[in-house]
Amino acid sequence: MKKLFLILMLLAPAFKTQAETVKEQEQVIAARKILDPWHEMQPEQGDRFLQLVCWTPSDREFPARYEERLDIIMKHIQLFYQTEMERHGFGNRTFNLQRNRQGKVVIYSIKGLHPADHYEKSSGREIREECLTELKKQDIDGQKETMVIFCNLADWDQKTLTFTHKSPYYAGGTNQSGTAWQLDSPELAIENIKLKEPMIKDGEYGRISLGKHNSIFIGGIAHEMGHAFGLPHCAPRPDQQVRGTPLMGSGNRTYGDELRGEGRGTILSFAHAMRLASHPQFTRSVKGYLDSASVTVRNLSVETAGKAIQVSGTVKGEPPVYGVVAYFDPEGGGDYNSTTATAVPDSNGRFEFQTSALTPGKRGQLRIVPLHCNGALADSGTRAKLKYSYDVSKEGLPDVSTIQLRLELTPLLEAIASGKSGEIQRQLKFIESDKGKLISKRLVDMMEPTEIPGDYSGQQAKVELTSFKPTTVSVGWRKPTFNRIPDPAMLLESNGEIFETGLYAHAPSRHEYALNKTWKTITGKVGIAAGHDSGTVAFEIQGDGRTLWQSKTVTSNELISFDVNVEGVTQLVLLTHATDDGASNDWGLWLEPKLSR
């Protein structure tokens, strides 16, 4: 009996993987019934080529055999994408390489303007500008192309088998254009991936085999190309791990590992195959690829079922939406730890998905990404509205109460935005939760306070600061608001929590209040408004010109509490400061600030 139980336990992942495969095959069939006919109706065939550039500083020759090696490397990566797209059921779609009459990949060789000492890993933009200038002479507008720039900023010593580099090594892009910065070096070649010897000394990865070194950096090309095509990072779900490591996770480091018997190698996740299925590089269709996309998600429901999160809703878009990809991203680690779920809308636009691949003890963000037939995504404002915060207990039980509160308030927010008083009053009747009612009252009551805190004659020992009139107010972007932000999102949401009261304080900002020595403490929290993830702000509280409290630099994934003595203070000033990265996206918030006496 124990043997049978052990066998069943060992086979469980295989059964789960098989079930997921069947589900994904059904989704592919449904997605292609939307995607393929759209491209076939009034077709616009066209080849969008991946442009390849080998760039070298002015004092360096191009790497040895670079044209021959890169030709083979790029064809190998092209075949990898094709094989994975076929495995998932999307046919032999892959990116398009321009070839000369001999069938070799076309590579544009460009000399830099400066010697090698001038450039660093952060020189990507400068190198790209140099390349754009030279490509323009070839009648190529690099701003409108997807391209890979191989930078000759690596140092390989064949005698000592040592390697270092200072090449830009990153990427980004959309369905229309993108750039991947990569490196090239003489020892990088497809035939070397299989080698377990010799061992080399890599300046970043230490003592590794020449084969592993090639896996990392050739896999890095494939990975950064994914970013240039618009793909984010992702982590493997348990059912995917039995196949290999997703390319857009750490699959750049496992590319070809199976050739050395050192692992399962690299795969393209189903979610990212879904996304690439509409990319103009992969469809060989340019129909509408320059058109912007619009989408509406309605009737969204987010529930829990044991250790899983279940999501459903209806989606409608232009161009049509053929799929929905969701990312469940635990805090920390950037987006590398995001697991994925997918769905295909039915004829009424309804979709649903669920996942139990959640990280215990972590707060997370759910990002819902509708996929349009032309490969485009909706604008950043729309995408920001489809980001939701959840929590997972140490026992692995998800909490989606913040999402549910936001969804409960969404119809009211839309009514407020419309300015129709009748609709606002109608939507207020549908708010059932206690917190929802409190927030709704604050959102609807737009009367500005007239009393300063120094003249307060009420009986309460603790009072919200937003109940009082400030002496002076200034913010760094848009207009000052209290108990909301000056944005269609409206809600005071930060780091996965929604707050009832607060001050919008885009840096640099100043909120000054006349206390007239009548209060003892001020308490509350500070954070960055949801949807402004790149913002960083420093908060400061002053009393009569003297600093009473100052925060460290606050980022979007944290809330910091304060409890400050203001006894004897006449003038209280709340300040936010931009940090070294500038004031862009610095949507600071003073959250539930309260005065006590």
CATH code: domain of residue 386: 2.60.40.10
Are 107 and 74 spatial neighbours (Cβ–Cβ below 8 Å)? Answer: no
Same domain, yes or no, for 570 and 462?
A: yes
243 within domain boundaries: yes
Name every residue whose Cβ is closer than 8 Å to that of residue 131 and which is 6 or more positions away in sequence: 53, 55, 108, 110, 142, 147, 149
Are 537 and 507 spatial neighbours (Cβ–Cβ below 8 Å)? Answer: yes
Last residue of a domain, one of 390, 418, 442: 442
Alpha helices in 64-123 (DSSP H): 66-87
Which helix (H) or strand (E) is 421 found in, with range?
A: helix 421-428
Q: Could you identify the residue written with the tokens 């539930």?
A: 592
How many independent structural domains does the chain possess? Answer: 4
Same domain, yes or no, for 222 and 323?
A: no
The one-character DSSP state at 545 is: T
Same domain, yes or no, for 310 and 420?
A: no
pLDDT at 31: 98
Same domain, yes or no, for 94 and 77?
A: yes
Same domain, yes or no, for 555 and 433?
A: no
User: What pTM was estimated for this model as a whole?
Assistant: 0.91
What contacts 24+ positions apart, CB below 8 Å, involve 14-17? 14/242, 16/238, 16/239, 17/239, 17/240, 17/242, 17/243
pLDDT at 534: 87
- pLDDT tens per residue across all 597 residues of the chain: 555 444 444 444 544 555 667 799 999 999 999 999 999 999 998 889 999 999 999 999 999 999 999 999 999 999 999 999 999 999 999 999 999 999 999 999 999 999 999 999 999 999 999 999 999 999 999 999 999 999 999 999 999 999 999 999 999 999 999 999 999 999 999 999 999 999 999 999 999 999 999 999 999 999 999 999 999 999 998 888 889 999 999 999 999 999 999 999 999 999 999 999 999 999 999 999 999 999 999 999 999 999 999 999 999 999 999 999 999 999 887 889 999 999 999 999 999 999 999 999 999 999 999 999 999 999 988 898 899 999 999 999 999 999 999 999 999 999 999 999 999 999 999 999 999 999 999 999 988 999 999 999 999 999 999 999 999 999 999 999 999 999 989 999 999 999 999 999 999 999 999 999 999 999 999 999 998 988 999 999 999 999 999 999 999 989 999 999 999 999 999 999 999 999 999 999 999 999 999
Same domain, yes or no, for 270 and 319?
A: no
- Phi/psi at 540 (nearest 5 deg)? -145, 140
Tell me the three state secondary structure of residue 366.
strand
pLDDT at 17: 56
381 within domain boundaries: yes
Which tokens belong to 20? 């997921």
379 within domain boundaries: yes
List Cα–Cα distances, 89 to 31, 59, 241, in angstroms: 10, 48, 19
The span from the CA of 434 to the CA of 429, in Å, is 13
- Phi/psi at 469 (nearest 5 deg)? -85, 130
318 within domain boundaries: yes
- What is the b/e burial string over 356-382, where b = at least 16 CB atoms within 10 angstroms of the residue's CB? bbbbeebbbbbbbbbbbbbbbbbeeeb
pLDDT at 3: 54
Considering Cα of 130, then 135, then 141, then 142, what sign does the dihedral take?
negative
β-pair type (146-151, 49-56): parallel
Same domain, yes or no, for 493 and 550?
A: yes
Last residue of a domain, one of 249, 283, 317: 283
Q: Which among 471, 478, 506 has a CA at the least distance from the CA of 590?
A: 506
Same domain, yes or no, for 278 and 298?
A: no
Give the full edge-to-edge strand order of the sheet including 546-550.
472-474, 509-514, 571-578, 537-543, 546-550
Same domain, yes or no, for 192 and 72?
A: yes
pLDDT at 2: 53
Q: What residue numbers bound the domain in which 59 lies?
A: 2-283
Same domain, yes or no, for 246 and 382?
A: no
249 within domain boundaries: yes
pLDDT at 384: 85
Same domain, yes or no, for 492 and 531?
A: yes
In 10 A of CB 24, how many CB atoms?
A: 18
Name every residue whose Cβ is closer than 8 Å to that of residue 462 and which is 6 or more positions away in sequence: 594, 595, 596, 597
289 within domain boundaries: no
Same domain, yes or no, for 463 and 360?
A: no
32 within domain boundaries: yes
The span from the CA of 172 to the CA of 179, in Å, is 6
288 within domain boundaries: no
